[in-house]
Structure 1
Amino acid sequence: MRVFVAGGAGVVGRRLVPQLVARGHQVVATTTGEGKVGLLERLGAEPVVMDGLDARSVAEAVARARPEVIVHEMTAISGKPDIKHFDRWFATTNRLRTEGTDHLLAAAAASGVGHFVAQSYGSWNGIRHGGWVKTEDDPLDPTSIGRGAAAIRHLEEAVLAAGGAVLRYGAFYGPGATDDQVELVRKRQYPVVGGGGGYSSWVHLDDAAAATVLAVEQRARGVFNIVDDEPAPAREWLPYLAECAGARPPMRIPTWLARPLAGPTAVAMMTQGRGFSNVKAKRELGWRLRYPSWRIGFKEELA
């Protein structure tokens, strides 16, 4: 198929494009500037410079590409993590998940694109009551990640209404995905908050890309949790990440102190987060993970 990957130069796109190419697909991949055109060419894609927040730019890029499938991987997450000011850190990503999604869907409709696959998020932001591990039938928490929760809801509702697939990726790790977090861990600036009982789900970038290829090829519809087999509380995965990174064990700070220092998002993640189940994705997509647990992946990536 001819596949249009919006955000092809991002951390997911850089792993997704080669997998699509290896399976014989023609890939058109976008970047926001000329600086990454060469990278996309080396990955085997036809590069296009596109501004995902400009409706005309998106419409022209899609019309020229004439794809059969659009994959929405556009985000703007870069620099040092700033969980305390989460809305500010994610402001452009939130726009890409709202305005950018609308632009891509409008372009898809205008150009007769038959299928649409979009990146969503499902790591620790499941509804914060009931069990610690959520399925696709459970709602996302509407307050967990500030304005980002509304942006994700907009993306999911719009894509599902268009008959597309929503992939709720877990927290990424792999090449270029966790460098900033690991640096904070090594500096002991990433503490366990309270009892660290909040759950998170992880996924290696290569496994996320492999699931996306399956969703493209099978023209999947609906919501899929793209996470590994082992949702785990922060008190387990964070000390293990530190160990794999050759760092000292993370500090532990009480919840009352973390709120003014790290903000409500960090406290919710560490103490109340809900992870996700991958049973549906494995069953319906035939997805098989190279890294079924973050325990394996962290060790390999940081060895």
Structure 2
Amino acid sequence: MRVFVAGGAGVLGRRLVPQLVARGHEVTATTTSATKLGLLEQLGAEAVVMDGLDARSVGEAVARAQPDAIVHQMTAISGKPDIKHFDRWFATTNRLRTEGTDHLLAAAEATGVPHFVAQSYGSWNGIRQGGWVKTEEDPLDPTSTGQGAEAIRHLESAVFKAGGAVLRYGAFYGPGAIDDQVELVRKRQYPVVGNGGGYSSWVHLDDAASATVLAVEQKARGVFNIVDDEPAPASEWLPYLAACAGAKRPMRFPTWLARPLAGKTAVAMMTEGRGFSNAKAKRELEWQLRYPSWRQGFKAELSD
């Protein structure tokens, strides 16, 4: 197939492009920076510069590539994590999930691209009622407000209506994905909030990429949780991450103190978050994970 990867130079794109190429697909991958064209070419793709927020740029790039499938991996997450000011930190990513999604879908319609796969998010943001682990039948947390939650809802609705596949990736880890978080852990600036009972789901970049390849090849439709086998509370995964990183055990902050210091998003994640089940992806996509648990993956990634 001819596959168009929008955002090919991102942390996931850099793992996805080689997997697509290795399976015989012709890949066109985009970047916003001409300095990264060489990187994408080394990965085996035809590399193009594209501005995902410019409808004309997107339309021209897709028209030239004439792909059989578009994979939307455009984000702009960089710099030190700023959970307290989440919307500010994610401002460009939120636009890419709204305006960028609309531009790609319009280009797909204009050029007759039959399949569309898009990156969404499913780590701790399941509905905060009932059990701690959610399936695709459960809604995302409807109480989540702000531009980030609205952007995810927009993306999922638009892609679903277009008959595409929405991949709710868990929290990424792997090469280049959590370096900033690990630095905070080592500085003891990443505390457990409250009892740390909120659940999160993780996924290694290579496993996320392999699931994406399957969604492309199988022309999957609907929503899939792309997470590992072990959703876990912050009180378990964060101390384990610290141990793997050779850091001291994380401090604990009471909720009342964390709220003004870290913000409501961090408090919700750490104390009320709901993780996700991967049963549907494993069943329908026949997805097999290299790292079934973050326990194996954190250790492997940080053992050096």
Could you say which TM-score interval applies, normalised by the shorter chain?
A: over 0.9
Tell me, yes or no, if the aligned pair for 1:163 and 1:221 is still in contact at 8 Å: yes
Shift of the alpha carbon at 1:144? 3.2
- String of CA shifts for 1:225-281, please: whole Å, max 9, x gaps: 000000000000000000000000000010000000000000000000000000000
Residue 214 of structure 1 corresponds to which residue in structure 2?
A: 214
Establish whether residue 183 from structure 1 lines up as the match of residue 193 from structure 2.
no
Shift of the alpha carbon at 1:289? 0.2
Shift of the alpha carbon at 1:147? 1.6
Residue 297 of structure 1 corresponds to which residue in structure 2?
A: 297
Shift of the alpha carbon at 1:145? 6.2
The one-letter amino acid of 1:27's match is V
Residue 116 of structure 1 corresponds to which residue in structure 2?
A: 116
1:55-204 equivalences in 2 (<5 Å): 55-144=55-144, 146-204=146-204
The one-letter amino acid of 1:129's match is Q
Shift of the alpha carbon at 1:142? 2.8
Shift of the alpha carbon at 1:160? 0.6
Rounded to whole Å, the distance in 1 between the matches of 2:41 and 2:219 is 26
Rounded to whole Å, the distance in 2 between the matches of 1:93 and 1:166 is 16
Shift of the alpha carbon at 1:143? 3.6
Rounded to whole Å, the distance in 2 between the matches of 1:150 and 1:262 is 21
Rounded to whole Å, the distance in 2 between the matches of 1:159 and 1:26 is 23
How many residue pairs end up in the alignment? 303
Rounded to whole Å, the distance in 2 between the matches of 1:145 and 1:200 is 19
Tell me, yes or no, if the aligned pair for 1:62 and 1:111 is still in contact at 8 Å: yes
SS in structure 2 of the partner of residue 84 of structure 1 = coil
Tell me, yes or no, if the aligned pair for 1:142 and 1:150 is still in contact at 8 Å: no
SS in structure 1 of the partner of residue 228 of structure 2 = coil
The one-letter amino acid of 2:238's match is L
Rounded to whole Å, the distance in 1 between the matches of 2:196 and 2:258 is 12
Residue 42 of structure 1 corresponds to which residue in structure 2?
A: 42
SS in structure 2 of the partner of residue 172 of structure 1 = strand
Rounded to whole Å, the distance in 2 between the matches of 1:23 and 1:125 is 33
Rounded to whole Å, the distance in 1 between the matches of 2:78 and 2:33 is 15
Rounded to whole Å, the distance in 1 between the matches of 2:56 and 2:157 is 23
Tell me, yes or no, if the aligned pair for 1:86 and 1:145 is still in contact at 8 Å: no
SS in structure 2 of the partner of residue 291 of structure 1 = coil
The one-letter amino acid of 2:93's match is T
Tell me, yes or no, if the aligned pair for 1:6 and 1:74 is still in contact at 8 Å: yes
Shift of the alpha carbon at 1:33? 1.2
Rounded to whole Å, the distance in 2 between the matches of 1:65 and 1:211 is 23
Sequence identity (%): 86
Rounded to whole Å, the distance in 1 between the matches of 2:145 and 2:36 is 30
Rounded to whole Å, the distance in 1 between the matches of 2:192 and 2:144 is 18
SS in structure 2 of the partner of residue 83 of structure 1 = coil
1:252-271 equivalences in 2 (<5 Å): 252-271=252-271
The one-letter amino acid of 2:91's match is A
Rounded to whole Å, the distance in 1 between the matches of 2:170 and 2:164 is 19
Q: TM-score, normalised to structure 2's length?
A: 0.99
- String of CA shifts for 1:127-185, please: whole Å, max 9, x gaps: 11111000000000134363211100100010010000000000000000000000000
Residue 239 of structure 1 corresponds to which residue in structure 2?
A: 239
Rounded to whole Å, the distance in 2 between the matches of 1:184 and 1:28 is 36
SS in structure 2 of the partner of residue 271 of structure 1 = helix
Rounded to whole Å, the distance in 2 between the matches of 1:142 and 1:284 is 27
The one-letter amino acid of 1:290's match is R
- String of CA shifts for 1:66-89, please: whole Å, max 9, x gaps: 000000000000000000000100
Rounded to whole Å, the distance in 2 between the matches of 1:231 and 1:118 is 22
Tell me, yes or no, if the aligned pair for 1:125 and 1:145 is still in contact at 8 Å: no
- String of CA shifts for 1:174-206, please: whole Å, max 9, x gaps: 000000000000000000000000000000000
| CA distance 1:27–1:145, change in 2 (3 Å) | farther
The one-letter amino acid of 2:187's match is K
Residue 23 of structure 1 corresponds to which residue in structure 2?
A: 23
Tell me, yes or no, if the aligned pair for 1:190 and 1:251 is still in contact at 8 Å: yes
Listed as ranges, the gaps of 5+ residues in structure 2 are none
Tell me, yes or no, if the aligned pair for 1:167 and 1:226 is still in contact at 8 Å: yes
Rounded to whole Å, the distance in 1 between the matches of 2:265 and 2:154 is 20
